[in-house]
Chain A
Amino acid sequence: NAGVTQTPKFQVLKTGQSMTLQCAQDMNHNSMYWYRQDPGMGLRLIYYSASEGTTDKGEVPNGYNVSRLNKREFSLRLESAAPSQTSVYFCASRWTDSNQPQHFGDGTRLSIL
């Protein structure tokens, strides 16, 4: 019953450093999503992947890149971290061919100093 697994859970970076947030799901879902959540705001979509081999920009893609490595895994990369990217990052997955809800990981809390 792993569901959606995100690593790491916490990370502190210095401005300009790079890192990759990992996400894996074991539910055979075809769509995967990366969101960021900031205080007082709703979740904002960074990138999504409707199926293996495809990725598309969401609402706030600047400063991020993604890779849909296979059906299970969807990673988010910060090439040159900025303080404005301090946030909680959530990965989610779902079936997109029916009325099924999204399933979320527990998040990665990222601080950029």
Chain B
Amino acid sequence: KQEVTQIPAALSVPEGENLVLNCSFTDSAIYNLQWFRQDPGKGLTSLLLIQSSQREQTSGRLNASLDKSSGRSTLYIAASQPGDSATYLCAPDSGSNYQLIWGAGTKLIIKP
């Protein structure tokens, strides 16, 4: 059974810092891995999707990497801004009935 762990559970840093959020998963047989952002009281917004054949994906200040063999993914946020404050969730897709398995998320606070 796939299990997903996100570390740290919470992170508070001053504006401008570069950050790394970690996601580990136990079953490396994944179809892709997705990173989402959740703002308070809102739904989830897809940030990046890394296919199993890819090593990384970039979107603006965000870069996500994937190491399937070690069961790890990282989300790198460059030059953090207060607007980046949110909870970030990762979800590997095992392809089994198209279900995502979710981590509990990292709550990020960027202080002005």
Contacts and interface: CB of A to CB of B under 8 A. Distances in A.
20 contacts: A4-B43, A40-B104, A42-B4, A42-B101, A42-B104, A43-B91, A48-B98, A50-B97, A56-B97, A90-B43, A90-B44, A94-B98, A102-B34, A102-B100, A104-B36, A104-B43, A104-B45, A106-B41, A107-B42, A107-B43
B24 to A, nearest CB: 13
B51 interface: yes
Interface of A: 4, 31, 40-45, 48, 50, 56, 58, 90, 92, 94, 96, 99-107
A52 to B, nearest CB: 15
B76 interface: no
Interface centre among A50, A90, A100, A102 (most CB of B within 10 A): A102
B49 interface: yes
Interface of B: 4, 31-32, 34, 36, 41-46, 49, 51, 89, 91, 97-105
Nearest to B9: A40
